[in-house]
Structure 1
């Protein structure tokens, strides 16, 4: 497993990357948090240095994070999840509410309105083009009949099957059960997971606050990193969070 840990304090933040990404996308943020927190950047199974051994669903990914927390004796971590990582973080808060202290969802793909599924997958494939393996992007488009080019079986069967499973998992009915104080951070102009979905998530989670970062898209933390960091820090120290 690839992770990056800064042992400078007692509070712990765990960052979960999105689909097609790895822990590397968040690692530049370590110096923003290193003086106040213990920080972990995880590679989820199938990405970075963590292999995927079988097809997985969101529950499996949540259990992977849960096991990591237990194995490392981490107490009351703050979980930050972007996009697919946000869905994993949401699932973790639903099935293991006792394990985390706060939840931070960043353009999280946690709800699946039927007419949005194809649009979401195509947008993600386009957004991740410079970052994700070429074969996986071609396969996503092929799955949706949006691209006729053979993708040459570059990616694993396990990851292909996993994608087909997780793209249809909708957590909206479970969001009202989340007990953790939650910050929902959204890019104003996100086209992969529209702001309307962020508003819905924030409305469904009882103790949630929505923060909209203006003039940003699905990767708001890369577009406006300082605003991203400031929103997280304000939320963590807030006595009402």
Structure 2
């Protein structure tokens, strides 16, 4: 993680925890993280740093120090973010939605089009039903606010003792490919980076909130849009990006060969990096 965690000046209960990184006087990118994450987590920010962007990474409601009251639904949090962004700088910015953060990114582009210059959706959840019923039931048990600390403490301890085992277990939910092969093919540096990511994961009250249905109208998105998704993603089915691509006017789509939902931990990420760079510079 680079940059210090801050709290926005917006009065409680809408206060947002966020982190700034990159060139702090450059144009802005807002990165909306996925489930079990917070402003502390850096996923793919180097792509934007090299282009001279200031990266703003907020903790979504229920994660980190951002309360659920800051926006219990993607539409409500989009309004809170709009107030925050307008107070910082009213110029349009790039908005990136990762995984469960995709719905908030969509809502921001739909409701406040004047604030969004470009929209990038990476492994993003759309408005289709998500997740599968069996996954939802398991999540309600393992990641409810009272149990999730025990769940993650056990996972963090296991990651210290048996990192390879933890990565293979994760890949059961993240990839359609054989988990052992995915991990074995991953360079040691990426394996270590993924273990470090695992050590930072917490669900707080945010993850169960992410599981609630959300509605929106992607056809209202006016910003140029790039949708990036792995065909091997076992967490967010491929019909999410394909449905969004059909609904968002003039959306571009990259269906990647990345090994899992976490596209950054794959030798194929360089292709994604190039695609995002071309999208933002052209």
Aligned match of 1:83:
99
Aligned match of 1:59:
75
Indicate the SS of the match to 1:41: strand
CA RMSD after TM alignment = 3.3
Aligned match of 1:16:
32
| Deviates further, 227-236 or 179-188 | 227-236
Deviations 1:126-146 (A, max 9, x none): xx9xxx944688xxxxxxxxx
Task: Measure, in 2, the Cα distance between the counterparts of 1:97 and 1:210.
Answer: 20
- Seen in structure 2, the aligned counterparts of structure 1 residues 51 and 30 have a Cα distance that, compared at 3 Å, is farther
Task: Measure, in 2, the Cα distance between the counterparts of 1:107 and 1:2.
Answer: 22
Aligned partner of 1:162 among 209, 214, 228: 209
| Deviates further, 85-94 or 57-66 | 57-66
| Deviates further, 217-226 or 27-36 | 27-36
- Listed as ranges, the gaps of 5+ residues in structure 1 are 138-153
Offset of residue 161 of structure 1: 7.0
Indicate the SS of the match to 1:22: coil
Offset of residue 201 of structure 1: 0.8
- Seen in structure 2, the aligned counterparts of structure 1 residues 25 and 119 have a Cα distance that, compared at 3 Å, is farther
- 2:215 matched to 1:191? no
Aligned match of 1:213:
256
Task: Measure, in 2, the Cα distance between the counterparts of 1:31 and 1:161.
Answer: 30
Q: 1:16·1:44 contact (CA, 8 Å) conserved in 2? A: yes
* TM-score normalised according to structure 1 size: 0.74
Task: Measure, in 2, the Cα distance between the counterparts of 1:8 and 1:54.
Answer: 25
Deviations 1:128-174 (A, max 9, x none): 9xxx944688xxxxxxxxxxxxxxxx987x657734xx521133xx1
- 2:36 matched to 1:36? no
Task: Measure, in 1, the Cα distance between the counterparts of 2:45 and 2:71.
Answer: 31
Offset of residue 5 of structure 1: 3.0
Aligned match of 1:176:
219
